[in-house]
Structures are given as C-alpha cells and as structure tokens.
Amino acid sequence: MLHLWVELSRELKLKIFREQFLGLSKIAKSCTILNEDDLIFRYDKKQKRISAFANKPVLVKNEDLQYLVSFEIGTFSIDFSYVNLETKDFVIKSVFYKGTSFYTPLEGSQNIKAIKNRQKAYKGSLLHFMRALSKQNLKEEKYSIASGGFLVNPEKYISVSKIDSNMLFKVKLRAPLSVLYKNKLQSDITSPKIYNYRKQKPKKKMPFKDGDTLTPQLLLKTFKKKKEAKTQNPCFNTEFFIDNFGNYNPIEAFSLIGYMADLRVGDSLPLDYSLEVAK
C-alpha cells in the first residue's frame, strides 16, 4: 500500500529529468547540465506526471558532439503508467517536450572524433528522416517503411508535396507506420489519437537504478514484403509540414516510439547541420 506521506524528492525528479531530457545513449551520457539549480519540478500524483520548468535556458555541455546547447523549455512533461514511490518503481507512458535551442561550438568542435560523433548522431535521427522524407529519397538514405507487419511502398502510405517557393513541404501519411533505418534501427509513428503505450502494472519489479527501465522500448519486428496486388491505398490520417532544414510542425501531429523517440537533447544537432559534413 502506498502511504500518503511518501513524496517524490527533488533529487529523484532531477535524476529522472536528466535521463529523459538528455537521453540514455553513449553520446547523451557525455552531457552535463550546467545550471540544474534553475530547474523547477512539479509532480502531479493524480495524473502521474512530472513537469519541468526553468526561468532561464537550460545549459547543456555536450562533450562528444562539442556543443554548448542553450535550451529554453516551452513544455516538458513525463507521464507514467505506473508509479510506486515507496519502492521507486516507475513505468513511463510518454515524454513530451518542446522549446527553442541554440548551439555554440566548443573549442574541440573541429576534432575528427567530434565530427565522427556528429555524423553518428545524425544518421537515423529524426532530423535525418525528415530531410529524407521532404526530399522523397528515403530509399537512398537507407530508410524503409512498414505497415501491419509488412514492408510497403512508401508512396502509397506517405504523400509529400511542395507548397511554396520557400521550400516548405506538406506531408500526409497513414499512421501507424514503422520506420526502419538500415533495417535495424526501428521507430514507430503513431497518431496521437490512437497512441496508447502499455498502461498495465509491470509483472516484475523494475528498480529505478536501472535507467533503461525508464525508457519506453519497441522490440524490433521482422517485416515481410507484402505483395503489391494486396496493397490498398490507405486513407491519410496525419498531416504536418517540413521546412528546408528538416524542422517539422506541428510537433503534436504524431507520436514516436522506438529509436528516434529515444534520441533526446543529448543527441540533437543544430537545424543547419550540414548534410555535406554527414557524408
């Protein structure tokens, strides 16, 4: 039984925030938040939600990518499907954040190691995918699309059209869709209306000290090729826009699960990151 006097300490909220804001990748673990004292947290017991605020931009030093990132939080929330404050067991349902970021190169930004790390962070990322999607060269960039357990022709599930001379693209797609990069890194695009990550209580304890238990994971599926004769033109149910840099809007247009969803601020790159450098 959960006692009412049990509270979520600031130390614990800060630990959860670090992991979900920066991420859990090797690159993300090289990051340090320089002004943690400026962070304000609120925990809503009824909603099982942690919200984070800051009156100043959050400053992140990224050693592997050699950037100082200034991130101004607009919204940041973590929703849990299961919480036990006594045992510190948590299961994350979803993470949502948005804001503005500014990147300042550090002294070692032109080191070969930093350049290679940025290449690694870029390939397979949401920024990489959005650029490939807007240019309609998913296959050339090593992406494949699947639906209902079958690999499908992207053109029948995704519509991309240029809408003005400012290089703005309108995208319509039929969610849910699975996106695979090099046939091994999998992400799922789902409509917010049907997004429903598991809500059940975990069958066994997942202690907080194991950071991986706080990250929703999607098991890699084996997809088969679907015969074209059986493929029907689906109805589009999700719509958003992509600019020339690969930035998309509105960000609430869909939800992500899997690899791209697990990449957070610690793996992020500036929107003007050069495609030439990434080759």
| Whole-number pLDDT of residue 142 | 97
DSSP for 34-102?
TTGGGEEEEEETTTTEEEEEESSPEEEEETTTTEEEEEEEEEEEEEEEEEETTTTEEEEEEEEEEEEEE
Contact 261, 187 (CB under 8 A): yes
- Residue 258 to residues 159, 187, 190, 193, 218, Cα–Cα distance (Å): 23, 4, 11, 18, 5
| Whole-number pLDDT of residue 173 | 92
| Whole-number pLDDT of residue 6 | 56
DSSP state of 181: E
The residues near 222 (Cβ < 8 Å, ≥ 6 apart) are none
| Whole-number pLDDT of residue 228 | 45
| Whole-number pLDDT of residue 67 | 98
**pLDDT < 70 stretches in the chain:** 1-6, 193-234, 275-279
| Whole-number pLDDT of residue 180 | 97
- Alpha-carbon distance 252 to 248, whole Å? 10
Break the chain into its structural domains and give their ranges.
Answer: 1-123, 126-262
- Alpha-carbon distance 247 to 62, whole Å? 21
pTM for the whole structure: 0.82
The residues near 225 (Cβ < 8 Å, ≥ 6 apart) are 150, 151
Structure tokens at 127: 């920024």
Residue with tokens 């209580």: 201
Residue with tokens 């020339």: 244
| Whole-number pLDDT of residue 226 | 54
| Whole-number pLDDT of residue 194 | 40
| Whole-number pLDDT of residue 103 | 97
